[in-house]
Amino acid sequence: MSRSRLCIEPLPWDSEFFGFPIGRVQLDDATPESLLQLDADARAMGIRCLYGSVDASPGTTALLVQEFGHRLVEVSQAFSRPASAFTPRATDSTVRRGTLDDIPLLEGAFEALAPWSRFGADPRFGLDAAQRMHRAWVERAAAETDERLFLVAEDESGVIGVSTNVWSPVPRVDFMGVTKPGSGASQALMGALFQWAEGGATEAGPCAARNIAVIRYVEGCGFKVARVQYLYHRWYDEES
């Protein structure tokens, strides 16, 4: 295999969820030759949509991959936080582990978060698919209790917030939504992540760089930007 060949990673979960073959590729080392070979490989594998990413750095790769049909759908930021104390502000919200019975109560959060998703930003998927993806993501967290932590925040009015967290390789919050702004539920959910991490280093995201409110929120919790990526979708059933 050529050293410059770009390797496609099939994504069985996404493929099953959306009902057609999906793969993922890191595009940082792309050249015109490797992008042509990538297209051939993807078509041979029957890939319908290929997720691509390029680390944000000086160079021409971000432009090059678009010339080969990879459509920019999101600029994504991931965050890191060293081990340190965290004192959430006072709130009437309480946090507990979520269950499958809680998921129907989270439709408001799924609807609010869908426009910020890479899937909501791509009309080939759309807002409905983004909401379904979020719902399935929470269902997965509820089922895989060894590696994932599904939390809900609630007050006297009921469930007002949700987060899912992944244990490995570093405890990370990967999904959070609150339907009652100003309630302190988001800080309560973040505090529960830090407890789960036993005071160690944590991560957050990725999240859309256009979502300034979330960026300011995680910065207020002690996180710093650790990685910025351009995210692309390459559809093989349409012309470049």
pLDDT band at 182 (very low <50, low <70, confident <90, very high): confident
For residue 107, the model assigns a pLDDT of 93
Distance CA 190, CA 64 (A): 39
Task: Determine how β-strand 224-235 pairs with β-strand 202-208.
Answer: unpaired
CATH says 85-198 is which class? alpha beta
For residue 235, the model assigns a pLDDT of 97
* pLDDT more than 70, % of the chain: 98
For residue 64, the model assigns a pLDDT of 93
Using the structure block, give the residue that is written with the tokens 């939390």: 151
Dihedral sign (CA 159, 76, 81, 169): positive
* Ordered DSSP codes for 39-95: HHHHHHTT-SEEEEEEE--SSSHHHHHHHTT-EEEEEEEEEEE-S----PPP-S-EE
- pTM to 2 decimal places: 0.85
Average of per-residue pLDDT values in the chain: 93
pLDDT tens for 29-81 read: 899 999 999 999 999 999 999 999 999 876 789 999 999 999 999 999 999 99
pLDDT tens for 132-175 read: 999 999 999 999 988 999 999 999 999 999 999 999 899 999 99
Which residues in the chain are classed under CATH 3.40.630.30?
85-198
Structure tokens at 140: 């997965």
* 97-114 mean pLDDT: 94
Predicted confidence (pLDDT) at residue 240 exceeds the cutoff of 60? no
Predicted confidence (pLDDT) at residue 2 exceeds the cutoff of 60? no
Predicted confidence (pLDDT) at residue 1 exceeds the cutoff of 70? no
Residue 25 pairs with which residues in a beta bridge? 52
Distance CA 114, CA 126 (A): 9
For residue 216, the model assigns a pLDDT of 93
Predicted confidence (pLDDT) at residue 192 exceeds the cutoff of 70? yes
